[in-house]
Amino acid sequence: MSSEIDARGPRELPGKAPSPGGVLALLAAATATGSTGLAAGGTAGALLGAELAGTSAAAGLPVALLVVGSAAGAVLVSAQAGRGRRGRGLAIGYLVGVAGAIIVILAAVVRSVPLLLAGSVVLGVANSSVFMARYAALGVGSARGRGLALGAVFVATAAGAVLSPLLLGPSGALAEAAGLPRLAGLYLVAVVAFGLAALMFAAASVPRFPVLGRAAPVLSHRGVRAPGRAELLGGLRGRQVRSALVTLAVANFVMVAFMSVAPVHLLEHGHGLQPIGLIVALHVAGMFAPSPLTGHLADRFGALPVVVLGWVLLLAVCLIGLLVSPGGTATMTIHLLLLGVAWNCGVVTGSAMLAAAVPAGLRPHVEGVGEVVMQLAAMLAAPVASVITAAAGYPVFSLACAFVALGALIHSYRSRGRP
């Protein structure tokens, strides 16, 4: 039974085979729309947590709980994908995120930290939909072009994710005009962005829906049987799967750690919301914009060189953080831009490695494990980063991250060629 599924994978719904380019464009458009809500949980969440709690040490709490929700969302989305309903899973994740954004807006109005934390968990489910759309792209086109296809959707993620922090100032002004706290602005953006993305993915899962329905063969399948526990555990034991999971976890751990404390660090040293939004936007551009190049390099030269490049860049990021002047806008911009590029090298390559390492029938479930591992790493990173920075300062925190990056580099080098 398992060998039959391994060979065939899920069966597509009947109908004319869609153009790979057209399907990628549809996935990209829906993902770009949803990713416009990303900065609500990250940038605004850190600032709102510090403001409501009255201490920068609390900045990481909303981010930590955001990733708890993201981990739960990854389970939800991958479970739906494993049943042949990937599009439905992505749409449900976005709708849950809309509810979370509304809860956080209420928390900002009544100045309730517990409500903020609860809303952050619910909001995080939508984040899993944003990032797990990349695995739908891996089902478009040939296996040789997996990295490039994934990169195309990641660039679309950049379009919304870069715009999102730039809306920190304008959305704050809009929120104040509506009688809401300034930091509720990005959560209003999230309500609209996540809601539209949910509608787009729901429509794209229906073959007969005009235009958007062309993506249905990728987002909806039939004849899918969930693998058994032994089958799944067997798939997770492979060297390439383990290496991919370590790469995804460490890349996300260090990135989330830095971005949990960097906005507060900038705010405390005299930077306004608009400059902070611009710096974060450039960081997000670094996270996603290089994706086609990163994916192409992984397809052409293999995963290891790109992964090692990511770890080297991460060590450079930590060195800059160790030496950076708190008030230096240019240096902090370079610091966070390189952080984004390093993350991109790890996540694009790690995701492609994960998809290539297992049979088609196991892929949605292993993808879900990869996303949960990423979110668990992030959940640990956010509070640890906040506490270390509050207790010892940003340079010491950067030094600690350097040791993590160095360990990952050594692991990648030692694991090459092992079975």
Return per-residue pLDDT of the chain as tens, 419 residues.
333 334 344 444 444 445 566 677 788 888 889 988 887 777 788 888 888 888 777 777 887 788 789 888 888 888 877 777 778 888 999 999 999 999 999 999 999 989 999 999 999 999 888 888 877 777 665 556 666 777 778 788 878 877 887 888 898 899 999 999 998 899 999 999 999 999 888 887 766 655 555 555 556 555 445 555 555 565 566 778 888 899 999 999 999 899 888 877 787 766 777 788 788 878 888 988 888 888 888 878 888 899 999 999 999 999 998 887 666 778 888 999 999 999 999 998 888 888 777 776 677 778 788 888 888 898 788 788 888 988 888 889 999 999 999 999 998 877 765 54
How deeply is 410 buried, as exposed, middle or buried, from its count of CB atoms within 10 A (0-12, 13-18, 19+)? exposed
Domains in the chain, number: 1
| Residue 245 belongs to domain spanning | 18-207+234-415
Among candidate residues 156, 155, 134, 157, the one with its CA nearest the CA of residue 146: 134
How deeply is 379 buried, as exposed, middle or buried, from its count of CB atoms within 10 A (0-12, 13-18, 19+)? buried
Instruction: Determine, yes or no, domain membership for 407.
Output: yes
Return the HEC string of 3-44.
HHHHHHCCEECCCCCCCHHHHHHHHHHHHHHHHCCHHHHHHH
Instruction: Determine, yes or no, domain membership for 249.
Output: yes
Instruction: Determine, yes or no, domain membership for 225.
Output: no
CA 90 – CA 154 distance, rounded (Å): 16
The total number of residues written for the chain in this structure: 419
Instruction: Determine, yes or no, domain membership for 3.
Output: no
CA 375 – CA 330 distance, rounded (Å): 30
| Bridge partners, 85 (sequence order) | 220
Instruction: Determine, yes or no, domain membership for 35.
Output: yes
Instruction: Determine, yes or no, domain membership for 13.
Output: no
pLDDT score, position 397: 92
CATH of the domain at 100: 1.20.1250.20
Instruction: Determine, yes or no, domain membership for 383.
Output: yes
pLDDT score, position 227: 55
Extract the tokens encoding 40.
Answer: 């609500």
Cβ atoms of residues 79 and 296 within 8 Å: no
Cβ atoms of residues 111 and 52 within 8 Å: yes
Extract the tokens encoding 154.
Answer: 């990641």
CA 98 – CA 263 distance, rounded (Å): 24
Predicted TM-score (pTM) of the model is 0.74
Instruction: Determine, yes or no, domain membership for 53.
Output: yes
Among candidate residues 129, 100, 159, 130, the one with its CA nearest the CA of residue 291: 159
pLDDT score, position 11: 45
- 40 contact partners, CB below 8 Å, separation of at least 6: 101, 104, 123, 164, 186, 187, 189, 190
Q: How far is CA 295 from CA 150, 151, 292, 312, 334, in A?
A: 7, 6, 5, 18, 23
